[in-house]
Structure 1
Amino acid sequence: MYRILLIIACLAYIIYGDCIVKLPEDIPKAEPLYLNTIRSGKQIKYSLIAPTNNTLRVKTNSLITLSCSGRRNFIFNTNRNFTTLLCRSGTIFQDESNYSVDIRQLNCTKIPESELRVSQSKCAHNRGYIYKVGFNVFQNVFLTNFKICYDNKSENTFYSENIINGAAIKYAVKESDRRVFKSDGMTKSTSQINTLYTKSNQKAVFENLFGKHQNYINNSMFLSRGHLTPDADFIFSYEQLSTYYYANVAPEFQSVNGGNWVRVENMVRTLAGDYGVNVQVFTGYYDNLVLDNNDIYLDNMRKIEVPKWFYKVIKNMKTNAAIVVITLNNPFAKLREIREFCPNICEKASLHNKNFKNIKRGYTFCCEVGTFTRIVNDLPTNFTSNGLLNCAFADKLFDE
């Protein structure tokens, strides 16, 4: 009898076990927002689901809401932009009409759209305001994906802040949809800033400073839109596309952006994935680039500055250990001219890469957080760290 009961219990678990969606293979094209849905009386609370490893898991008889945010965006083959489902087992859920549906077949007519909202919360010692980038799920439900500290009077980004889900980052959805930057929250329009980033405009700006025969901007050397919080730091397509705001970029020479800066970005994700924990990242820039005694801006009105240094503050949220990695945005510098503005502790943190000394690809060094924040004092006042983050895991990713 005991064996029979044990078999029945095992079968019940197989049939009625938790709902499990595998990443990325079970995620449809133009996937909806996947939301935890918790009912308490008349109140319903929503939050973005954070997968663990390659699994998006929902407990049996628990609710999940699928939402297609954005104008004229609907659950495929319906006229609704959201649906709430009850987990039955595996990838099978029960919809509000009590029909069984396979969550792998539920997608939106297009990738859910993000919004940028300007809050009244000040940042960077009252020099900027927190911009929240996220998703308007329902009328009074806005879910934040990441934050930007921005001042639209100076058009200056002090930092962006995001969390990398280290437990699942290795299984992120690979999204290849066309990226369109927007200037929400800025004084200038999207078309104006698009124009500023064209090579023809950059040549005109540099010729105004250095004459017709300037040697800085050409077809292979130009300023690109350097992401602060990058798209690849996120799991789902809608999260990745939410990073395409001009408030989240700064002018960065392409040889640096596609060189050591992308190595730093990859390093952070590798650390998060190998540690398997959430990693908090603050990304910003410091100081204005100067070439031949001229401060460099993207525009002749001298509004959008070209940074001299880009940085990432990286913190393991489990141990509170952190490090700052800093990259020079000047591929024309001479080695004798470069001044590391805080002691370089890359070796101490087990972060080794011969490319970090390549100036054209972006000279890169590391600092302890305490030393760095005494010089670049933009981070939130409640930010704390304890100890130096060990980056030994990162070595294996580097393409020498």
Structure 2
Amino acid sequence: MSKVIIILAIALVLVAVVTGVLLKLLVFSNDESNDESESTGQQCVINPFEVDPHPLIFYSQTVDWIYPIHGETVLRFEQGTSLDFICPGRQIIINNTLTEKESLTGQCVSDTIFLIDGVNIEWGTLICSNYHWKSIEITGNSCIGDGKELITGFETDDGRFITALTICFNPQLEIAYYTFINQTSTINQRVLDTPRPSFIQGFGIYTIGSATSYYVRAQQRATINTLVGLPENSTKYIQDSGNYFLSRGHMTARSDGFYAAQQNATFYMQNIAPQWHTVNGANWNQIEIDLRDYAEASASDLQVYCGVYGVTTLPHEETGDEIELYLFVNSTHKLLPVPEFYWKVAYNSLTKAAVALIGMNNPYKESFTPICEDISSNLSWFTCNSELVNGYCYACTVPSFRKIVTTLPDFTTEQLLT
């Protein structure tokens, strides 16, 4: 009898142990399942270009642009993250209903849902009533001695200014010394095919009236022909058709902006200089492409400066003397110089690596002497060709570049951007 009792006791103990193990496994399984459920619901993941024009998105009360993680095309936000949705100068529309507000604050709920004014709102139902209203401002800061610092971007209804582009403007020649942007490593995931805006110039910066009027082909032809001793209507240099004319050449390119708002903010006259169109659509365009491709391939966020240097020349018809070219000329002033060359400097602040890229700006020149040692062969990603008519281009180290071009802001360079 005692043996039976002992066996039964052992059996009961075993049943209890097995039951306990099973319960623990069940609880663990449920916990793990709950963890997976929570982890998939803890983020909002959105396509920033799902609607057009979409509200600009910023972490609440900040002005720093938000970009996808390198290698992705979406924006990710942790659950509960507070964000501002902004349509500068416009109104936000939700589910086809005008809110009469240009900014709203919301919190990430999950997936594409945000809590705005106590209501769960789907990201794809948020849209701006029109494209963002941009502006250009004089900051009051100086740059490069006599330069005036300008910023283009967007004013918000709570007093913030969201900068898209910084310009150091030369008030003596009414052209920029340089422009500056922070370029994201995801630049090749930028929005494409949005409407191209017209150039504007703001107020209180130029003294020459409408700057864009001096780029009209007939006007630039008359001005340049007068300078070099040709009849006003001669088509020797500024032709009636084709690419031999001076275009409004972007310093910071439209395609250097990730969002449509950033791209549109490049269409200020203060961001351009006279550039021969044979150069603008050829080698200079390739320099811009090469640098964007480098940023994407190397996963590098870059600080990018773009500027102009010198004044290009053409020979006088009678004397043969080289005459500097300007688009604005009167009895006392020569303004809007046609640059000798464009330059672009890219800098990685994490690695202290930098490079200077140079594009000549005169299709009628038969030879050029580089201003610094050409190290293009050290850059596997630099594909610009050396055809003179398309704008002879080359690369230099930043220290050697600085010996000639003194308008580049200071930063520490330790290696070449390769």
Counterpart of 2:379?
Answer: 349
Counterpart for residue 317 of structure 1: 349
* One-letter amino acid of the structure 2 residue matched with residue 211 of structure 1: L
Deviating above 4 A after TM superposition, structure 1's stretches of 4 or more consecutive aligned residues are: none
Aligned match of 2:37: 11
1:48 aligns to what SS in structure 2? Answer: coil
Q: Relative contact order, CA 8 A, sep 6+: which one is greater?
A: 1
RMSD of aligned residue pairs (Cα, Å): 1.7
Using the aligned pairs only, state the percent identity.
26
- Counterpart of 2:22 in structure 1 is none
Contact 2:302 2:349 in 1 (8 A): yes
Maintained 8 Å contact 2:398/2:413: yes
Contact map agreement 1:74 1:108 (CA 8 A) in 2: yes
Aligned residue for 2:182, secondary structure, equals strand
Distance 2:158 2:37 in 1: 42
Cα gap change, 1:59 to 1:352, in 2 (>3 Å): closer
* Rounded Cα–Cα distance in structure 2 between residues aligned with 1:256 and 1:364: 10
**Pairs aligned (count):** 371
> Is the Cα–Cα contact under 8 Å of residues 23 and 172 in structure 1 kept in the other structure?
no
Preserved CA contact (<8 Å) 2:294 2:381: no
Structure 2 unaligned regions, length at least 5:
1-26, 316-321
Alpha-carbon contact 2:346-2:354 (below 8 Å) kept: yes
Is this contact kept in 1: 2:173–2:337, CA < 8 A? no
Q: Is the 8 A contact 2:184 2:295 kept in 1?
A: yes
- In the other structure, the counterpart of 2:17 is none
- CA deviation string 1:1-54 (max 9, x = no partner): 21111112212222x221111354xx31111111111xxxxxx44533233231
Match of 1:289 in 2: 312
- Rg: which structure is higher? 2
> Match for residue 115 of structure 1?
135
Query: Within the alignment, does 1:79 sit opposite 2:111 as a pair?
Result: no
Deviation at 1:267, TM superposition (A): 0.8
Shift of 1:80: 1.0
Q: Which residue of 2 aligns with 1:40?
A: none
Q: Which moved further from structure 2: 52-61 or 288-297?
A: 52-61
Using the size of structure 1 for normalisation, the TM-score is 0.89
AA aligned to 2:148 is Y
- Within a 5 Å distance, the mapping from 1:177-256 to structure 2 comes to 177-184=195-202, 186-188=205-207, 192-209=210-227, 210-212=229-231, 213-218=234-239, 219-220=241-242, 221-256=244-279
CA distance in 2, matches of 1:22, 1:189: 43
Following superposition, the deviation at residue 176 of structure 1 comes to: 2.6
- Residues 105-147 of structure 1: CA distance to partner in whole angstroms, max 9, x if unpaired? 21101121222111222111x1202112222113421122221
Matches of 2:38 and 2:396, distance apart in 1: 55
Q: Secondary structure at the match of 2:165?
A: strand
Q: Does 1:272 align with 2:304?
A: no
Unpaired stretches in structure 1, ≥5 consecutive residues: 38-43, 391-400
Q: Is 2:103–2:157's contact at 8 Å kept on the other side of the alignment?
A: no
Q: Secondary structure at the match of 2:127?
A: coil
Match of 1:397 in 2: none
Matched, 1:332 2:361: no
Decide whether aligned partners of structure 1 residues 46 and 357 sit closer, same or farther in structure 2, where only a CA change above 3 A counts: closer
- Aligned partners of 1:23 and 1:48: how far apart in 2? 12
Letter in 1 for 2:297: D
> Partner of 1:101 in structure 2?
121
State which of 41, 47, 63 in structure 2 corresponds to 1:22: 47
Once the two structures are superposed, residues 221-279 of structure 1 have per-residue CA deviations (whole angstroms, 9 ceiling, x without a partner) of: 11001111111111111111011111110000111000000000001111111111211
Amino acid at match of 2:363: P
Q: Which amino acid aligns with 2:211?
A: I
Cα displacement (A) at 1:198: 0.8
* Mapped contact 1:175–1:237 kept (Cα < 8 A): no
Once the 2 structures are TM-superposed, how far is the Cα of residue 386 of structure 1 from its aligned partner?
1.4
Name the SS for the 2:409 alignment partner. coil
Alpha-carbon distance in 1 for matches of 2:338, 2:182: 26
**Does structure 1 residue 130 correspond to structure 2 residue 158?**
no
- Which of 185, 189, 196 is the aligned partner of 1:171? 189
Separation in structure 2 between the aligned mates of residue 46 and residue 245 of structure 1, nearest angstrom: 21
Matches of 2:167 and 2:248, distance apart in 1:
16
Task: Give the distance between the partners of 2:62 and 2:344, measured in 1 at CA.
Answer: 33
1:86 counterpart letter in structure 2:
Q
Which residue of structure 1 aligns with residue 338 of structure 2? Answer: 306
Is the Cα–Cα contact under 8 Å of residues 290 and 381 in structure 2 kept in the other structure? no
Measured after TM superposition, the shift of residue 189 of structure 1 is: 6.4
Q: Deviations over 1:74-96 (max 9, x none)?
A: 00222111111111011111111
**Cα offset for 1:207?**
2.6
